[in-house]
Amino acid sequence: MTAVHSPTAADSGASASANFRSTAREGVAVSTERVSTVVAAVLQGVHSAIRAHDVTYPEFQAAKQWLMDLGEGAEWPLFLDVFVEHVVEEVAARTQDGTKGSILGPYYLPDQVALPSVCTLPHRPDEAGDPLVFSGRVTDLDGQPLAGAELDIWHADSEGYYSGFAPDIPSGNLRGVVSCDADGRFEITTVQPAPYQIPTDGPTGRMIDAAGWHPWRPAHLHLVVRADGHRPITTQLYFAGGQYVDDDVAEAVKPELVLTPVDQRVTYDFVLERA
């Protein structure tokens, strides 16, 4: 079952923007030379596209209006997470070992309920969807278990909606922070998420429609896996044979992150490198 409609872009964009602004971040010290190099390269890319494709003044003005609409609609987190973040993550991965990462996306919410190593994610009494049991282990690069490692996990429901970003879904639904046992193991019972359509009634959706692209992401589990003294991993796990796995609008699927369900169970082991 997949979503046939999405929460409005305005509601989702406002939630994503508010969540981004509320998350404490350390300042980034960047030299004047670094700023000049990167900004100049971005502008050169834009200039090259304009020259290569003979962009007209009406097209330029339409693009200017679209950029203004994107900001006024609070959709910058949505647009950047869908169309840009996967490349930033790809660059970061060049110097990282352990489990493959993927994008965080716009639907993360911190400070979710703490759960034991064997648990069921919070859900509604009448939560729809096929059962899914997700189990595995967290180790270091040498295969040693990381006792007490945490899996911050969240995912869409069986209709493709996320709690906190869609009306009528209880806060914290299908979200939790799971602590592994002494052997680094976990077993999480939840429901199979659905593919979801990114909100299409705002400027991001208008761009997708104008380009003739589809707005769908494949079903996936989101995770931030962390343990003391180790580099946390942000990743997503997908399902073999699922819709849009081979055609993800966010281009975030990696072969190493695709699970093969067996009798409504999936298994995945995480490997963390020292910080």
Domain that holds residue 219: 92-272
CATH of the domain at 151: 2.60.130.10
Q: List the structure tokens of 93.
A: 């991965």
State percent of the chain over pLDDT 70.
Answer: 91
List, as one string, the DSSP characters of 214-225.
--EE--EEEEEE
- Tell me: pLDDT of 204 over 60: yes
**Is residue 161 domain-resident?**
yes
Coil/strand/helix, residue 240: coil
Q: Let me know the angle formed at the C-alpha of 184 by 179 and 187, rounded to the nearest 5 degrees.
A: 60
Does residue 30 come out as left (phi exceeding 0), alpha (psi in the -120 to 50 range) or beta? beta
**Is residue 156 domain-resident?**
yes
**Is residue 196 domain-resident?**
yes
**Is residue 31 domain-resident?**
no
**Is residue 179 domain-resident?**
yes
Q: What pLDDT does residue 5 have?
A: 44
Average pLDDT, the chain: 91
- 162 by Cβ neighbours in 10 Å (0-12 / 13-18 / 19+) ranks as buried
- Tell me: pLDDT of 91 over 70: yes
Domains held by the chain: number? 1
Give the integer Cα–Cα distance in Å for 139 and 170.
33
Instruction: Give per-residue pLDDT as tens, 138-158.
Output: 999 999 999 999 999 999 999
Longest C-alpha distance within the chain, in Å? 64
Least confident range from 38-42, 160-164, 197-201: namely 197-201
Instruction: Give per-residue pLDDT as tens, 116-132.
Output: 999 999 999 999 999 99
**Is residue 263 domain-resident?**
yes
- Tell me: pLDDT of 135 over 60: yes
Give the integer Cα–Cα distance in Å for 132 and 120.
10
- Tell me: pLDDT of 13 over 90: no
Give the integer Cα–Cα distance in Å for 61 and 211.
17
- Tell me: pLDDT of 46 over 50: yes
Q: What pLDDT does residue 20 have?
A: 67
The residue behind tokens 């100049």 is 40
Q: Which residues make beta-bridge pairs with 196?
A: 217
Q: What pLDDT does residue 199 have?
A: 82
In sequence order, which residues have a C-beta less than 8 Å from that of residue 267 and are 6 or more positions away?
Answer: 134, 135, 136, 259
**Is residue 19 domain-resident?**
no
